[in-house]
Amino acid sequence: MQKWNMIVDVEKCMNCHNCFLATKDEYVGNDFPGYSAPQPLHGHKWLHLVQHQRGQAPMVESHSMPVMCNQCANAPCIKAARNGAVYERPDGIVVIDPVKAKGQKQIVQSCPYGAIDWNDELQLPQKWCFDAHLLDDGWTRTRAEQACPTGALRSIRVEDAEMRAIADRDGLEGLRLELGTRPRVHYRNLHLMRAVFIGGTVVTHVDGIEDCLAGVTARLSKDGALVAETTSDTFGEFKFDRLERGSGAHELELDAGGGRRSRHSVDIADSRYLGVFAL
């Protein structure tokens, strides 16, 4: 049986919140019996964005990504629910039954992703149901995707084996896979939220004038082994990304050729702009 999956590309997300707003528009004040009770006007985050900023001026980055119910294939909420109040549909979508789940606050706590909100007025755990009511009505994609201007969100309905192949091919990652929840929301370019970078600026001085130095080879090594190599750009800037947070002492070598080179010890903790290096 083919299952619904969502693929999120972090690099394409620009934090515009169209997905967030479209999803709110769909559920606030609307009752879809069998799928979901109305979402309160404020406070719930069935699908929302998290932002992560890296570095310091002038090398600053800001990334964001939508997070939502992961429609886990091994969903903790299903286990935590009584009376079968949470169930997985044949197409993989996990639904909280808005009648049976009444009063079951433990369902909220069961989600390791914090994707389930508690509706105090209705005494109901609530979350995003992958717009199942729309898909069942003939829609081909979710409201969040429809509203996304960059294609950062893409739902596909495939067999699990095919999804695994796509994930392997495209380097997709899930959130907190160590829990064994087997999420059906997959992320591309997740390193932008998780990994760290270091970067700097190479300059040179000629007749008292400082200029950016382009084309300088920058090598990053750890314990003598080369980790990565790059080249400075027009602005003399070089950057190493996808480094592990807190990976410790590294050595940076800047080589402009002709024997013009320098070596520096770098401790990699968080993302960091290392400053200006004169060659």
Partner 1 sequence: MKIGILMLGLAQALRLLRLTNTAFRERFAEKNLVVQLKVLDCGTARSITFRDGRVSSRAGIHPAPDVVLSFKNARVAAKLMSLKPDHRFNIDAMKNFTVDLDGPDELTVWFAETISMVKALGWRYGTRLKGGITRYTGNTNGGPVFVYVKDGRIVRITPIEFDAEDGETWNIRARGKSFSPPRMATVSPHTLASKSLVYSKERLLHPMKRVDFDPKGERNPQNRGISGYERISWDEAAEIIAEEIRRVKRTYGPGALAFSHSAHQSWGNVNYHLSSGFRFFNLVGFTKVHSNPSSWEGWYWGATHHWGHTMRLGNGEVFGQVEDCLQNSEMIVFWSSDPEACNGVYAGFEGTVRRQWAKDLGMTFVHIDPYHNETAAWLGGKWIAPRPGTDPALAQAICHVWITEGLYDKWYVENRTTGFDEWADHIMGRSDGVPKTPEWAEGETEVPARDIRALAREWGKKKTYLGAGAFGNGFGGACRTATGAQWARMMVILMAMQGYGRPGVNMGNLQSGAPIDFNFWFPGYAEGGISGDLQFTADGPITYQRIPHIMTMNNVRQQIPRINFPEAITEGHATGYPTDVAAINSQFVPYRYPSPGHSPVRMMYKFGASQFGTMNNSNRWIRAYQSPNLEFVVNQSIWNEGEVKFADLILPACTTFERWDIGEWGSGGGYAPQYYTQNNHRVVVLQHKCIEPLGESKSDYQIYVEIAKKLGLSALFTEGMTELDWCRRIWEGSDLAQHISWKKLLKRGYFVVPTEKEHLRVETAYRWYYEGRRKTVPELQPLPADYTEKFLEGLQPQSGKFEFVPESLKKAGDPDRPPVNVYIPSWEGSKSHDLLAKYPLQLLSAHPRYSFHSQADGKDGIINDIEWHRREIGGYRYLICYVNPADAAARGIRTDDVIRLHNDRGEVLFAAFVTERVRRGVIRTYESSALYEPIGLPGRSPDRGGCVNLLTNHRSQIRGGSSMAPNACLVEMEPWREPVATVPVAAELAEV
- Amino acid at position 195, single letter: A
30 lies in the binding site for partner 1 (CB under 8 A): yes
Tell me how far apart the alpha carbons of residues 11 and 54 are, in angstroms, rounded to a whole number. 14
Interacting residue with partner 1 among 6, 7, 8, 22 (CB under 8 A): 22
Q: Which of 5, 37, 55, 185 binds partner 1 (CB under 8 A)?
A: 55
256-258-260-264 Cα dihedral, nearest 10 degrees: 70
Q: Contact region for partner 1 (CB under 8 A) — 8-16, 103-111, 174-182, 221-229?
A: 8-16
| 16 near partner 1, rule: CB under 8 A | yes
**Element containing residue 197 per DSSP (H, E):** strand 196-206
Instruction: Extract the tokens encoding 204.
Output: 């040179």
CA 131 – CA 101 distance, rounded (Å): 18
**Site for partner 1 contains 14 (CB under 8 A):** yes
Binding pattern for the stretch 226-255 against partner 1, x by CB under 8 A and - elsewhere: -------xxxxx------------------
Site string for partner 1, 144-183 (x = CB under 8 A): --xx-xx---------------------------------
Among positions 69-108, residues that touch partner 1 (CB under 8 A) are none
Q: How many CB atoms lie within 10 A of CB 22?
A: 18
Rounded to an integer, what distance in angstroms lies between the CA atom of residue 145 and that of residue 262? Answer: 49
| Least distance between partner 1 and beta carbon 129 (Å) | 15
Q: CA angle at residue 130 from 125 to 131, to 5 degrees?
A: 95
Tokens of 275: 């400053």
Q: How far is the CB of 66 from partner 1 (least distance, A)?
A: 13
Out of 34, 62, 103, 263, point to the residue binding partner 1 (CB under 8 A).
62
Question: What is the spatial distance between Cα 70 and Cα 76, in angstroms, rounded to a whole number?
Answer: 11
* Angstrom distance (rounded) from CA 72 to CA 88: 9
Q: Any contact of residue 137 with partner 1 (CB under 8 A)? A: yes
Applying CB under 8 A, among 156, 158, 166, 212 the residue interacting with partner 1 is: 212
**Shortest distance in whole angstroms from residue 225 CB to partner 1:** 29
**CB–CB of 132/95 below 8 Å?**
yes
Q: Whole-number minimum distance, CB 39 to partner 1, in Å?
A: 10
Residues whose CB is less than 8 angstroms from the CB of residue 106 and which lie 6 or more positions away in sequence, other chains included: 80
Binder to partner 1 among 2, 56, 221, 230 (CB under 8 A)?
A: 56
SS3 23: helix
- Which residues in this chain contact partner 1 in the complex, by CB under 8 A? 12, 14-18, 20-22, 24-26, 28-30, 41-43, 51, 53, 55-63, 137, 143, 146-147, 149-150, 203, 209-212, 214, 233-237
